[in-house]
Amino acid sequence: MIDIINDEYFMDLAISMASKAMGQTGINPVVGCVITNEGSIVGMGAHLRRGEGHAEVQAIHMAGQRAFGGVAYVTLEPCSHYGKTPPCAELLIHSGIKKVVVATLDPNPLVAGSGIRLLEQAGIDVVVGVLEEKARKLNEKFNYYITTRRPFVTLKSAATLDGKLATKSGSSQWISGPTARAEVHTLRHQHEAIMIGVNTLLKDNPSLTTRLDVAAKQPIPIIVDAQLRTPVHSKVVEQSGARVIIVTTEAASEEKAEQLRQHGVMIVRCGSGKQVDLHQAMQWLGEHEISSILLEGGGKLNGAMLEAGLIQKMILYYGMKIVGGSSSPALFEMGGVELMQDAYELESVEVELVGEDIRIIGYPKRQ
């Protein structure tokens, strides 16, 4: 197949570079940039780590003198503020670029259109909106975090066709096949933190690590544990103690808290009731720069997070199995709604076969 060389062709290259950096930029977006001059690519770059050069800086550096009179393709509006690095819009202006093609505006209130204005005021030809949807989706976590300062929560779960997480005796290996299970590790790599409830920890003793064939980033384990029942000798505390965050309540034992702290665990108290105040927890985590969370249940935490309106995205794998049992744990353990019209609904749904399982991706509608 011959690719048609146009704005989308170069923007697609910039997007694909950005997408490979997903999971490694912390609270920053993933961004890619391609510079062309007379139809040839003269520079390419991506933002790889927070605190390091933005995509445009890398690409302009590679292009050198050849940036002069060239075109820059950037997946996100060039920044206009002095952050950890100077503004990219000024760099583009000084390098003599004559045209800038942008996929999507930067929702960061510090930028939000002012990058485009700076470029236009300098007489640069600016085009916005090339492959916009694709670029916006790439940064859905950043877009949410930078405007709300709360973590973007993706619920991931595997369930049977009748919506169960295990059989009535608790057997759960395996609901989904190897292809779906492998995808989960990419998802872990792409989120800052991974969150489970203490019941899941007590039942499965998971290590919550990312296991990929390439070097992978390890998410911060977060355990929601109202009574501090997490054993100090659980795998997650033994393997990643210094990074673990346990979210609990004011009422939980200070003695147990101290024991866990001695293993490096951070204890955060949210709420004075019997249950963790999940809104307060998200507030605290956002303030501590946890911009995205992969929620891996179980059913009680999934239900509580859904009821609290704290889930932004769901990735559900359905194994072609039915286990029944009224006591078998369900994907969402919660009081339940009275009427069908009150059901929680998903929108922008995508359905795909993954190995022998069905994967459903959707976004809970705002209630």
Using CB under 6 A as the criterion, which residues of the chain lie in contact with ligand AOF when the complex forms? 28-29, 31, 47, 50, 54-56, 76, 78-79, 83-85, 88, 106, 108, 111, 146
Whole-angstrom distance, CA of residue 336 vs CA of residue 303 = 9
Region binding Zn ion by CB under 5 A among candidate stretches 47-55, 269-277, 299-307, 327-335: 47-55
Select 14 or 270, whichever has its Cβ closest to Zn ion. 14
Select 32 or 299, whichever has its Cβ closest to ligand AOF. 32
34 binds, among ligand AOF, Zn ion, none (CB under 5 to 8 A by kind): none
Site string for Zn ion, 69-88 (x = CB under 5 A): ----------x--------x
Whole-angstrom distance, CA of residue 282 vs CA of residue 273 = 17
Whole-angstrom distance, CA of residue 307 vs CA of residue 163 = 17
Minimum CB separation of residue 43 from ligand AOF in Å reads 14
Nearest-CB residue for ligand AOF: 83
The dihedral through the CA atoms of 321, 199, 362, 216 has a sign that is negative
With beta carbons less than 8 A apart as the criterion, state whether 215 and 209 touch. no
**Each residue of 111-145: b (16+ CB within 10 Å) or e?**
beebbbebbeeeebebeeebbeebbbebbebbbbb
Helix (H) or strand (E) holding 288: none
Select 78 or 197, whichever has its Cβ closest to ligand AOF. 78
Count residues contacting Zn ion (CB under 5 A)?
3
Select 84 or 261, whichever has its Cβ closest to ligand AOF. 84
Minimum CB separation of residue 349 from ligand AOF in Å reads 29
190 binds, among Zn ion, ligand AOF, none (CB under 5 to 8 A by kind): none
Q: Which of 38, 56, 120, 133 is catalytic?
A: 56
Site string for Zn ion, 232-261 (x = CB under 5 A): ------------------------------
Q: Please give the structure tokens belonging to residue 112.
A: 């939000």
Q: Does 285 bind Zn ion (CB under 5 A)?
A: no
Bridge partners, 222 (sequence order): 195, 245
Q: Does 46 bind Zn ion (CB under 5 A)?
A: no
Select 77 or 296, whichever has its Cβ closest to ligand AOF. 77
Minimum CB separation of residue 79 from Zn ion in Å reads 3
Select 69 or 86, whichever has its Cβ closest to Zn ion. 86
Q: Which amino acid is at 285?
A: L
Residue 258 is among the residues annotated as catalytic for this protein: no
Whole-angstrom distance, CA of residue 293 vs CA of residue 285 = 10
For residue 122, the SS3 value is coil
3-state secondary structure 70-87: CEEEEEECCCCCCCCCCC
- Alpha carbon 234 to chain centroid, angstroms: 26
| Phi, psi values for residue 32, rounded to 5° | -125, 155
Minimum CB separation of residue 200 from Zn ion in Å reads 40
106 binds, among Zn ion, ligand AOF, none (CB under 5 to 8 A by kind): ligand AOF
Whole-angstrom distance, CA of residue 162 vs CA of residue 250 = 37
Minimum CB separation of residue 304 from ligand AOF in Å reads 30
Q: Please give the structure tokens belonging to residue 342.
A: 């009150």
Q: Does 54 bind Zn ion (CB under 5 A)?
A: yes
For residue 123, the SS3 value is coil
Minimum CB separation of residue 25 from ligand AOF in Å reads 7
Select 52 or 345, whichever has its Cβ closest to Zn ion. 52
| Phi, psi values for residue 302, rounded to 5° | -55, -45
Q: Does 97 bind Zn ion (CB under 5 A)?
A: no
* Residue 135, CA distances (Å) to 15, 34, 99, 152 in order: 7, 14, 19, 17
The number of C-alpha atoms within 13 Å of 245 and in the hemisphere containing its C-beta is 19
Minimum CB separation of residue 110 from ligand AOF in Å reads 6
For residue 223, the SS3 value is strand
28 binds, among Zn ion, ligand AOF, none (CB under 5 to 8 A by kind): ligand AOF
What is the set of active-site residues? Answer: 56
What residue ranges bind Zn ion (CB under 5 A)?
Answer: 54, 79, 88
